């Protein structure tokens, strides 16, 4: 009976714990429903505001355009009116002057005819000469009504039909954006952001990625292009950033609605070059190194062993200088001063001509020579050594070096355990600039 009671008590406790777990799951789902409801309401409110603002701006712009067009047509009417009336005004002045002259002539003629007999002949002679000089048979030409402008306005009502059809097709409301953020991958001092298309009918031409610190209110563009992933650099570790993405349909100018903003962060400190080495100038974030004109040569190492196995280390060549067979880009177990290249023991590297070196020995496999814009990546994973291994070491890494769409894979055997490594570079001639991330 006591054992049965203990069993029942245990079952009851398990049932209570299951009920608590069940309740927690239900509460979590309630929170999910609440968030979904809030997202619908907030996005609906935002969409209403956007629509109202857009159409308000559109109405204001249309009114301004119509007013400008009306003013242009009225000015055209004024110009035609003034240009057409000007010769008529000149003709009117000429006729009025002729009427005044004829009145004067009439008065003089009547005076000559009805004047004193002694002065009559002299006045009649003067009047006759003046009348002949005035050319009373010459009259100014007055245009007929069919020869002068008769202004009118031609207004085609089809504009309303065109505007009506365009307005009724203007704007759409989507229940969800055609692209969504898919994955965040932590990188040293950066985040690899991936997105995907979720609308099968949507044919994307370009994508546009934006981000902001969670404490900021302003998103900024960080990528525009056709790829579906991008590494966002200059990310502060252990700080939340919000990301969103949209797309532009094939052959269209406008962008789609933004995806639902999502939060990403990286816990990995950024890769940095060591400052203070003569021969190299560094950027403010110390992730870009430039081989300067100094005659001093040597290997520029990372500030700390920040490359860990399982990650991808990337070098991007920003600018190139004169190549040399001693040039190197790679990783090493430890910093060793006194060398002018990573082509030495306890290091793997690639030269700018594409030669691959392991512990100072050149491999038969070779990669393409690096050029401006080239990226060289190093990937490493730990490979367990078997108990009967005779490879002469205690630790083995499988190394993959990729450059210009080609790669070499080999095993790097070391005599010590290394899960974090330094990276480095060396260039014999100035002009080389390399970004590490």
- Domains, the chain: 11-169 (no CATH), 179-266 (2.60.40.10), 280-436 (2.60.120.920)
The percentage of the chain sitting over the pLDDT mark of 90, rounded to a whole number, equals 63
* Cβ 343 vs Cβ 355: under 8 Å: no
Distance CA 127, CA 104 (A): 11
Distance CA 298, CA 337 (A): 8
13-33 per-position pLDDT tens digit: 999 999 999 999 999 999 999
C-alpha atoms less than 13 angstroms from C-alpha of 408 in its C-beta half-sphere? 19
* Cβ 435 vs Cβ 316: under 8 Å: yes
Residue 117 has pLDDT above 70, yes or no: no
Angle (CA) 378 383 384, round 5°: 160
Full-prediction pTM beyond 0.85?
A: no
The overall average pLDDT reported for the chain is 90
159-176 per-position pLDDT tens digit: 888 888 889 988 878 788
In the numeric block, the tokens 């700390």 are attached to 304
Distance CA 156, CA 217 (A): 48
Distance CA 37, CA 57 (A): 30
- Residue 322, SS3 per DSSP: coil
In the numeric block, the tokens 């430039």 are attached to 290
Task: Please classify residue 172 by burial: count the beta carbons closer than 10 Å to its beta carbon, then call 0-12 exposed, 13-18 middle and 19+ buried.
Answer: exposed
Residue closest to 424 by CA, chosen among 310, 279, 322: 279
User: Other C-beta atoms within 10 Å of 99: how many?
Assistant: 10
Residue closest to 383 by CA, chosen among 397, 394, 373, 371: 397
Distance CA 114, CA 126 (A): 14
């Amino acid at each position: 009976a006591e054992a049965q009671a203990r069993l029942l008590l245990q079952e009851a406790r398990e049932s209570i714990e299951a009920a608590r777990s069940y309740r927690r799951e239900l509460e979590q789902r309630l929170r999910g429903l609440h968030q979904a409801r809030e997202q619908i309401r907030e996005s609906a409110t935002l969409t209403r505001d956007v629509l109202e603002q857009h159409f308000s701006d559109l109405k204001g712009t249309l009114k301004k355009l119509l007013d400008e067009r009306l003013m242009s047509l009225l000015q055209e009417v004024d110009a035609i009116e003034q240009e057409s009336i000007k010769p008529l005004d000149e003709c009117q002045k000429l006729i009025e002057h002729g009427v005044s002259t004829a009145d004067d002539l009439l008065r003089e003629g009547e005076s000559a005819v009805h004047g004193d007999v002694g002065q009559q002949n002299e006045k009649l002679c003067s009047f006759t000469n003046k009348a002949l000089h005035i050319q009373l048979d010459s009259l100014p030409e007055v245009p007929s009504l069919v020869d002068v402008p008769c202004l009118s306005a031609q207004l085609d009502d089809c504009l309303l039909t065109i505007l009506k059809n365009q307005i009724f097709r203007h704007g759409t409301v989507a229940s969800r954006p055609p692209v969504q953020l898919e994955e965040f991958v932590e990188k040293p001092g950066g985040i690899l952001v991936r997105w995907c298309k979720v609308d099968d009918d949507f044919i994307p031409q370009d994508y546009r990625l934006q981000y902001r610190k969670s404490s900021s209110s302003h998103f900024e563009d960080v990528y525009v292009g056709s790829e579906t992933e991008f590494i966002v650099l200059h990310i502060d570790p252990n700080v939340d950033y919000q990301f969103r993405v949209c797309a532009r349909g094939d052959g269209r100018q406008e962008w789609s609605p933004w995806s639902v903003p999502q939060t990403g962060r990286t816990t990995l400190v950024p890769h940095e070059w060591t400052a203070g080495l003569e021969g190299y100038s560094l950027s403010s974030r110390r992730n870009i190194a430039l081989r300067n004109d100094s005659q001093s040569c040597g290997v520029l190492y990372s500030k700390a062993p920040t490359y860990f196995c399982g990650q991808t280390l990337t070098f991007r060549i920003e600018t190139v200088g004169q190549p040399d067979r001693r040039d190197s880009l790679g990783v090493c177990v430890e910093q060793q001063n006194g060398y002018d290249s990573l082509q030495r023991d306890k290091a793997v590297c690639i030269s700018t001509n594409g030669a691959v070196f392991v512990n100072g020995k050149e491999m038969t496999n070779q990669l393409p020579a690096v050029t401006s814009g080239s990226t060289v990546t190093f990937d490493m994973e730990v490979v367990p050594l078997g108990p009967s291994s005779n490879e002469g070491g205690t630790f083995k890494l499988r190394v993959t070096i990729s450059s210009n769409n080609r790669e070499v894979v080999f095993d790097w055997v070391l005599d010590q355990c290394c899960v974090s490594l330094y990276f480095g570079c060396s260039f014999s001639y100035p002009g080389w600039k390399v970004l590490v991330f």
